[in-house]
Amino acid sequence: MATKAIERRNIVVRSSARGFKVSLSRRVTTVFAWMFVVLSFLFVATMFVSIIGDVIIRAWPALTPKLLTEVTSGIGGGLKNAIEGTFVMSVGALLLAAPIGISAGIYLSEHGRGGAGKVLRFLSDVLVGIPSIVLGYVGYITMVIYLGWQFSVAAGIITLTVMLLPYIARSTELALANIPLAVREAGYGLGAGEGRVVLSILLPGAAPAIMTGLFYAVALSMGETAPLLYTAGWSNYMWNGQFTKEPIGYLTYVVWTFINEPFAESHRIAFAAAFLITTGVLILILIGRWLLVRGQRRMGVYQG
Amino acid sequence: MKIPVFRVALISTASFLPLSLISLIVFLAIYSWPAIQFNQFYFLWTNDWNLGNLYGNPVTVHGTQVMPGAKYGIWFLVVGTIVSSALAMLIAMPIAIGAAYFLSEGVRKSWAGPLSLFVDLLAAIPSVVYGLWGYALLVPLFGQTIFPFVAKTFSFIPFLNGDPGSGYGLLTSAFVLAVMIIPLISATLRESIRMTEPELKEAGRSLGLNRLEVFWHITLPKLKTVLIGVGILALGRALGETMAVLMVSGNALNYLPDNIYAPISTMAAFIASQLDSALQDPTNMAVEALSEVALVLLLITVVVNFAARLLLWMARVR
């Protein structure tokens, strides 16, 4: 023990006496770089806290039961119709987009190595980048004007669906790609057809990751405004169950229009709507992450 | 021969994706064709969006019916869109790189998970909430305090001097856009930093570089392609952002910004804000011209995304 300590001390002495010295400019640069790195993270964290805090603080006075029981009226009222509309359109878009998106994802992961698969993947990646207002405008000229649906629930849902498709396809593809090849081989080796392998082996295994993707997709569609402005329109009343020729209200519209009114009452409603969307979106994202973590822990094998 | 029902079903549903992209472009092109013919190439280069005299009788120009005096030129939108996005990239890039380094190597693993939630959740906040935050918090703060101060202090730098404006404008839009795209860049970069071969980093360390120098001289150059690809991807997002920009940009019309505080408008925000007035045009030319704006925006973002995906694909990152 004693010799070891001496050895160690010798090394220390030697290195401080003859080891290379880090030049002052390098040390100063490093210190500044560290400060920049820490500050840039703090900047991001501050922005997040500032957005959430701003919305919560200003929405607080408006968070009354009235929001849930009354419909919007001119400059005030509640948000019952908007909450219902956001719910109807998110769920509707999910119901349309999930089957198509999941099948596209299955195709990409199981047959996506060929030329057609590559093209499809590339185009779906490009589709992700299309601005949502452009989707909304195309929805307007095709469905609202050409098909004569007017501002309607169906036009809004279909526009949102086109927006969600590539996201769902991508998350499904990644989820399936994480399942080892051996699992597929075992399935085919037992004589199962492709449909059976995908439906009874791969999809259950990838279910947590796919569900996470679906939760993210709903969160995305909840927070969208631009594609709905010209497709879903706006309505002060509850939805009457009609899919065409009947506009519908939604929360994000309230945020945008009510903040432009000159009344404190409308501003409070706008912040209350923003609060509801933000909490909804963040809760969906957190549930999605939790599902993924839990699924990975349970399955163990398929690292997502 | 047995028909592979399952695979046919997969292919037919999967083809919805490319079909929707192609039909988007085709529908927009068909609908805006009269406007394309009427405006020709002056559309992009002239700075004059004027619906004409909406109470007059339609006149026939180049074989199409328009309102008297109607002109459609979107140069101010082209400038506003590109400059605000470029400025946003300028703000976002260094901060995103810093934050990505901090979360991937700067803190210990057990802290990185919870701390990276800040970045991941920031990406999930809806754009209209960003807009609301910009409108209610940033615009008064920037307009009353920060811009006048900056304009006075840096009055010797061109574009930073002059009238600090009301807070609505180019710099506010760029700032909000930057906050929106930082998490996008940062998240991908963080994964790529983690995936970089440890051997490279170890080699750098053994040459006596400290961790930050390893990052700056070895990891970051290695990730150059990823960085450019993700950057272009974020640029595409910034170019097409609607609601947040609409609420803080000041919605300038036919006005070119002369400094970074001046009000602007972007193509996406313009489409969102102008349909109501375009619908007043009985000849429908204004709606078709707006559709041409959408087509231009669509083509720009398709090209931008195409380039980004190609780069990322070459770098084997998805």
How far, in Å, are B174, B228, B299, B310 from residue B232 at the CA level?
16, 6, 15, 11
| Cα dihedral B40, B43, B48, B51 sign | positive
Return the closest-CA partner of residue B185 out of B123, B131, B245.
B123
- In single-letter form, the type of residue at position A190 comes to L
Residue A78 to residue A273: CA distance in whole angstroms? 10
Q: b/e map of B246-259 (b: 16 or more CB within 10 Å)?
A: bbbbbbbebbebeb
B248 token code pair: 């803080």
Most A CBs within 10 Å, among B129, B299, B316, to test the A interface: B129
Q: Which of residues 8-27 of A touch B (CB under 8 A)?
A: 20, 26
Beta-carbon separation of B306 and A126 below 8 A: yes
Asked whether the predicted pLDDT for residue A242 surpasses 90, the reply is: no
- pLDDT value, residue A14: 44
Residue A290 placed within a domain: yes
Beta-carbon separation of A44 and B306 below 8 A: no
- pLDDT value, residue B87: 93
Residue A63 placed within a domain: no
- pLDDT value, residue B318: 52
Q: How confident is the model at residue B156 (pLDDT cuts 50, 70, 90)?
A: confident
Q: Using CB atoms, pick whichever of B20, B28, B103 lies closest to residue A162.
A: B20
A197 token code pair: 């392998």
Beta-carbon separation of B272 and A229 below 8 A: yes
> What's the whole-number mean pLDDT along residues B146-164?
82
Residue B134 to residue A51: CA distance in whole angstroms? 9
Residue A198 placed within a domain: yes
> What's the whole-number mean pLDDT along residues A2-13?
46
- pLDDT value, residue B225: 86
Asked whether the predicted pLDDT for residue B286 surpasses 90, the reply is: no
Q: Which of residues 46-105 of A touch B (CB under 8 A)?
A: 47-48, 50-51, 54-55, 58, 99-100, 103-104
| Ordered domains of chain B (ranges, CATH) | 75-268 (1.10.3720.10)
- pLDDT value, residue B137: 92
Beta-carbon separation of B128 and A128 below 8 A: no
Q: b/e map of A56-73 (b: 16 or more CB within 10 Å)?
A: eebbeebeeeebeeebbe
Q: How confident is the model at residue B195 (pLDDT cuts 50, 70, 90)?
A: confident
Give the pLDDT confidence of A83-112 residue by residue, as tens digits: 999 999 999 999 999 999 999 999 988 887
Q: Using CB atoms, pick whichever of A55, A125, A127 lies closest to residue B129.
A: A55
Asked whether the predicted pLDDT for residue A8 surpasses 70, the reply is: no
Q: Which residue of B has its CA nearest to A37?
A: B98
Q: Using CB atoms, pick whichever of A37, A133, A194 lies closest to residue B240.
A: A133
Residue A86 placed within a domain: yes
Residue A203 placed within a domain: yes
Q: Which residue has the tokens 């719910």?
A: A87
Residue B70 to residue A255: CA distance in whole angstroms? 33
Q: How confident is the model at residue A6 (pLDDT cuts 50, 70, 90)?
A: very low
Q: Is A258 on the interface with B (CB under 8 A)?
A: no
Q: Is B49 helix (H, G, I), strand (E, B) or coil?
A: strand
Give the pLDDT confidence of B47-66 residue by residue, as tens digits: 888 777 777 777 777 767 77
> How many residues are given for chain A?
304
Residue B21 to residue A33: CA distance in whole angstroms? 44
Most B CBs within 10 Å, among A138, A221, A228, A290, to test the B interface: A138
> What's the whole-number mean pLDDT along residues A51-61?
92
Residue A163 placed within a domain: yes
Residue A59 placed within a domain: no
> What's the whole-number mean pLDDT along residues A134-148?
90
- pLDDT value, residue A304: 44
> What's the whole-number mean pLDDT along residues A170-184?
89
- pLDDT value, residue A301: 47
Q: Is A224 on the interface with B (CB under 8 A)?
A: yes
Asked whether the beta carbons of A109 and A176 are under 8 A apart, the reply is yes
For Cα atoms A189, A193, A198, give the angle at the middle one, nearest 5 degrees. Answer: 95
Domain containing A164 — which CATH number?
1.10.3720.10
Q: Is A142 on the interface with B (CB under 8 A)?
A: yes
Q: How many domains does chain A have?
A: 1
Residue A188 placed within a domain: yes
Quote the pTM value: 0.89
- pLDDT value, residue A278: 94
- pLDDT value, residue B172: 92
Domain of residue A101, residue span: 82-299
Q: How confident is the model at residue A3 (pLDDT cuts 50, 70, 90)?
A: very low
Strand partners, B71: B50
Most confident of A35-44, B105-114, B246-255, B261-270: A35-44
* ipTM for the whole complex: 0.89
Q: Which residue has the tokens 């050409």?
A: A146
Give the pLDDT confidence of B7-57 residue by residue, as tens digits: 888 888 888 888 888 998 999 999 888 888 887 777 888 888 877 777 777
Q: Using CB atoms, pick whichever of B126, B268, B298 lies closest to residue A277.
A: B126
